[in-house]
Structure 1
């Protein structure tokens, strides 16, 4: 089911948006098949691989739902320009309102819009602004929902034994000093990068002279995926930082309980 849902996610823009060439659909199908096989192998392997928190929901489930909603919403919005319908027009109107509300000075949406090389095309500017506003709002809401779920379900304590090796395959707890200190340091780094990335990506693109206009942003699938990744990556880093902070707190609490049981009269500082 996970592999199938990943394939649905990847093929959503090419299915919803008309005008995709036959070669483009074949390429999307190939990428979707590869991603589905990779997901199937990762989740059925005994030993960890590339996917983090594979046995510790709702981390990956929340990230997947966030990206799926962003891609679906942006695809329907982009469809309104090619094959208008009542639903597409409704999504477009909501996107325009959200984009206008979030397009204020120094906002991530404003910075992303300013990176467009084709600044004279008002319709194109509005489409990108609406897509950026919707994607950024969905990522913020997903981040808030993720934090709420962690508190409600006391994650990861109520998930049973948490296997650091399986859920953090790239993190070696035996290297580099205290595990808790390393987890907290990595968590702070992810939180800081997640906060800055929506501002840094447009700035880097702008000052490098590339401009998003160097890529065909008028092609709807390209617009959908670029804006979706721009909103998804920072929120994903934020979620990873929050999750690692919770894991560090869990390990510290377990240490304190073990020390209290081993030493009579011990009280943690």
Structure 2
């Protein structure tokens, strides 16, 4: 109980730190926005601590199935940190910021090819955007999209190695999928498979669809200026993180459906006397 409570507190602090990172790293932010960010960080950190300290789950999925949420958190943390460092380079240049910007420029240019998500994201900028803003968006989008692909690849490797869910540990569908009702509707395996495919399709399409939606609602990009770098940080990170998160969720739900189906077949075989007692 004590270890669970301590773990919940640590997770809450880490979430609050993640929310506050752009305000800490990027200089020149306003005091009003800092207060809003601080309140938001405290609120989300408090909710995270309550979620992990409680016996009964509410919203957080795969709570007891590491390292699913750890991979997602670390990927978002790296995205926010790197983009904040690059955005801060315009106001207070430093060796670390220059190095990160140089590496990001190489990655961004490599991923900025026709019909790529990065190219579509850059094209969604207003026509009168300055060259510095375009460069900043290209570098940030390229870095974040690469990080999302790497995090997805890491989860796939862990899955292929058979380390998720952990061997020898029972997987509680109710705890790890609190918003999924296994007793409602049709067969649970069919519903898990359907949701897995839906999440995978959304994860694949979202990086391409989101820039089109943003371009059609040009007011979203009015905040894309050097004077408001925090808008850039969170918009780019959300654009890259949400599709990867949906992709991971779809893969995870497909894995759970496969394990349930495998368990059913094993139980049927035992009942038919096909397996040794």
- TM-score for the superposition, normalised by structure 2: 0.92
Where do 5+ consecutive residues of structure 1 fail to align?
none
**Whole-Å separation in 2 of the counterparts to 1:160 and 1:113:** 45
**Partner of residue 6, structure 2:** none
For the Cα contact (< 8 Å) 1:17–1:220, is it kept in 2? Answer: yes
Tell me the equivalent position of 2:4.
Answer: none
Matched, 1:15 2:24: yes
The Cα offsets for residues 147-181 of structure 1, whole Å up to 9 and x where unpaired, read as 11122243115161111011101111111111111
Which shifted more, 86-95 or 109-118? Answer: 109-118
Supply the RMSD in Å over aligned alpha carbons: 1.3
Shift of residue 204, structure 1, vs aligned partner: 1.6
Deviation at residue 121 of structure 1 after TM alignment: 1.1
Q: Deviations over 1:35-84 (max 9, x none)?
A: 11000000011111010011111110000000000000101111111110
Please give the alpha-carbon distance, in whole angstroms, between the structure 1 residues aligned to 2:25 and 2:129.
Answer: 28
Which residue does 2:201 correspond to in 1? 192
Give CA-to-partner distance per residue, 1:212-258, whole Å, 9 cap, x none.
Answer: 43234431111011000000000000000010011011101111111
Unaligned runs of 5+ in 2: 1-9
1:160 pairs with 149, 169, 192, which one?
A: 169
- Structure 1 position 116 matched with structure 2 position 125: yes
Q: Say how many residue pairs are matched.
A: 265
- 1:209 CA displacement: 4.0
Contact 1:116-1:211 at 8 Å conserved across structures: no
1:24-173 equivalent positions in 2, closer than 5 A: 24-158=33-167, 160-173=169-182
Report Cα offsets for 1:180-219 as digits up to 9, x if no partner.
111011000000000000000011222x242543234431
Aligned to 2:218: 210
Q: Residue 194 of structure 1 contacts residue 238 of structure 1 at CA under 8 Å; is this kept in 2?
A: yes
Question: Alignment partner of 1:81: what SS?
Answer: coil
Hey, what's the Cα distance between the residues in 1 that align with 2:129 and 2:60?
42
Match of 1:251 in 2: 260
Aligned to 1:158, the other structure's residue is in SS state coil
- Conserved 8 A contact 1:117-1:212: no
In structure 1, the partner of 2:3 is none
